[in-house]
Structure 1
C-alpha cells in the first residue's frame, strides 16, 4: 500500500517539474529531496518510481533517476493526440462531472475553480471517461516541459489555468462550439511555438 508520504512527494516533484526547478535530462538527487522534505529517502524513491511509470522520470540502472526528456518532434505528435482527445470529449460532454454552473460563473475567479499545477489533468478527468482520461493525463504529463516552456514564453502567470477555466465555463453553459474553438486556438498556438523551437534549435 502506498503511504501518504508517497503522494506528498509525488505532488512536490511534479510541482518542481512544472515550475522548472527540475530540468530535462538532469539527475534527481534523492537525498537532497528527502532533506528538503524532512523525510527518509524511501518515499522519495517510491515516488520517483511512480513518476517513471508515467514517463516524467527516467530510471537508469546503476545511475539513478533523471528528469525525462520528450524531443520537440515527439511533443508535436503528442499535442496532436491530446488535441483530438479533448475535442472528442467536448463533443460528447454534457455538464462536466461534479461541476455546477454557479461554480464557473464570472463571479468566481479561475483560481477558485481549479487550483495547483494540475488544472489540465483535472479537466481531463472531468470531461473524459475514466479510461480515456487515464490516457489523456499520461499524454499531458509527457508534455510537462513543453507546457512549462509555453507558460514561460507567455510571460504571464498561469496561462494554462486561465485557458482551462475558460473551457470549463463554456462547457458549464453547454457552449461546446466555442469551447472547441478555444482548444483549437490553443493547439495551433502550441504547435507554432514548437515549430519555432525546432527551427531555431
Structure 2
C-alpha cells in the first residue's frame, strides 16, 4: 500500500522515519523540548538531514542534552567538543548549547517548566493548519516572531523566528502536515491538552 506523506519527507530514509514517527507530534516533555530547541539551532544554515544523521552522536557528545550536565561544561570541554566529529563544529553553535542550558533554568525558575512557557503561546494545544501544498507552509509567522523575541529576552541564542517556527512544527505546537499526508489526521486526533 502506498502511503502519501509530506513531500519533504521522501528525500531520505532519515527524514521519512522522522516524519512518520516524530514530526508534528505534540510534545510536552521538557527534556525533549530542550533537545529540539538545540537541534533546530544547530541546523541553522544546514539541511535537516545533516542534523538527523548526527543526532545520536550529538546526544552522546552533549550528555543526552541534559541541561544540568551542559551548564557545567568548561572552556576546556568546549575546546574538546570543537574537535568532536559527532557534532556541528561551529564555535557559536557549541557555545549556544551551554548558554541555552543556562537559559533553560531561567525559564524553569520563572514558569515552572519549559513546556508551560512554550505551550502558553498556543493555549496548551496545537494550532492545526490545513495546507494543501508545501509552498503554502510559511517559514515563520507572527507567533514564531513573538516566541523568538521572548526567548531572546531570556538570553537564548540561535532562536530566530525561522528556527522557532521549525521548532514549533517539530514539537507539534503547529500541525503543518499537508492535508493529503497520512500523518495530518493521525497527529490531530492524538492531540492532548496541556492544561
TM category (shorter chain) comes to 0.3 to 0.5
**Given the two structures, how large is their TM-score scaled by the length of structure 1?**
0.35
**Given the two structures, how large is their TM-score scaled by the length of structure 2?**
0.36
Name which one, 1 or 2, has greater alpha-carbon Rg.
1
Relative to total residues, which structure has the larger helix share, 1 or 2?
1
- Greater relative CO, 1 or 2 (CA 8 Å, sep 6+): 2
